[in-house]
Amino acid sequence: MKRRITPILTLCLLIAFATLLLTPFCLAEEQERAKGDMTDKTVTQKDETGTDPRGFAPKFMPYYRYTELENNLVVQEMTLFGMFAFNPRFAMTYEWAIAKYLDATDVSGFPSGESGTPGPPGTGAPGAGFRPGTAEDDGDAIGMGDLNLRFFFKPEELEWGYDQSKLTGSIMVGSEILFPTATENVLGNESLILSPMLVIVHDTPTHGFVALMNFYDFTAFKDRRRDKVKQFRGRWFIMQPLTKPGPWYGGIYLLPEFQPVYSFEGDNSFSFWFGPEVGKIMAPGKIVYLKPGWGVSPTSTEREFTFELGWRWFF
């Protein structure tokens, strides 16, 4: 396995560590602010699950994810995920795989293998141009993955509501940045990927919401061995509470996610992934969830099955 500690990687790691060191201070500050002016008129249905993108508040949401590609390549990762709310209109999320393990021993033809999936940011899949043959002789690798930062801006002019139904909606704009912070070349994209973002959220009459997060991913900088990324990526959610909070069986919700990805590079390929999240409110501001996922007719280098187990803690 070739280790690549470059000046860009060093800078990205410093940014990542600084983000983690500031987490407790930001959470404390945001908790105090939440008691005052952090209310938002667009979230009329209280965000008790911490899943509403409009709910700008300090959150800490670590998760474990298992990913298996159609060609039997396996990725396991433990990720730190959270949100900083700078003010009621501007927030940032961070997502960093602090422990990531890749196993290519069952890939057909190892060690030569096939190229990896385009690796949409946040999916846990290897990046564009990845080949199992670049793994260690024993076929596995372990280390840290890439860092993903996502910035949300919620203009007041792009909010609406209906007095009679009390349903509201909002359009948010922002961007996502994937930094190449992986400590091993096969554990990340080896690319700086920028993703302008448009998010549309609207309440449903059944006390849930629909959230359509849309990204355009493109490569700003990459290692010469990696392929360019130029693709549309959707993350579409439907949140539906199933039981009211209170009794032991209460506070259960369903949050299906749909991920269409259309690549404008090469043969203009299309892929689709579906993952139904089921979660439970254990206590106010404390949620546990599990999320299996399946690729729909995946090619040999796309996600076939994923499983995610996580915890949400927010104020």
Query: In this predicted model, what pLDDT tens digit does every residue of 61-114 receive, in sequence order?
Result: 999 999 999 989 999 999 999 999 999 999 999 999 999 999 988 887 665 544
* pLDDT score recorded for residue 15: 54
Nearest to 253 by CA among 206, 189, 205: 206
Share of the chain above pLDDT 90, in %: 59
Residue 65: what residue type? Answer: R
* pLDDT score recorded for residue 10: 52
Rounded CA separation 28/35 (Å):
11
The model carries a pTM of 0.82
* pLDDT score recorded for residue 34: 45
* pLDDT score recorded for residue 246: 81
Contact predicate 189/226, CB 8 Å: yes
Q: What is the CATH number of domain 7-314?
A: 2.40.160.40
Kindly state the tokens that stand for 19: 């983000």
For the chain, which ranges sit under pLDDT 50?
1-5, 21, 23-25, 27-28, 30-31, 34-39, 41-44, 113-118
* pLDDT score recorded for residue 113: 46
- Give residue limits of the domains in the chain: 7-314
Rounded CA separation 38/77 (Å):
33
Contact predicate 88/40, CB 8 Å: yes
Residue 179: what residue type? Answer: F
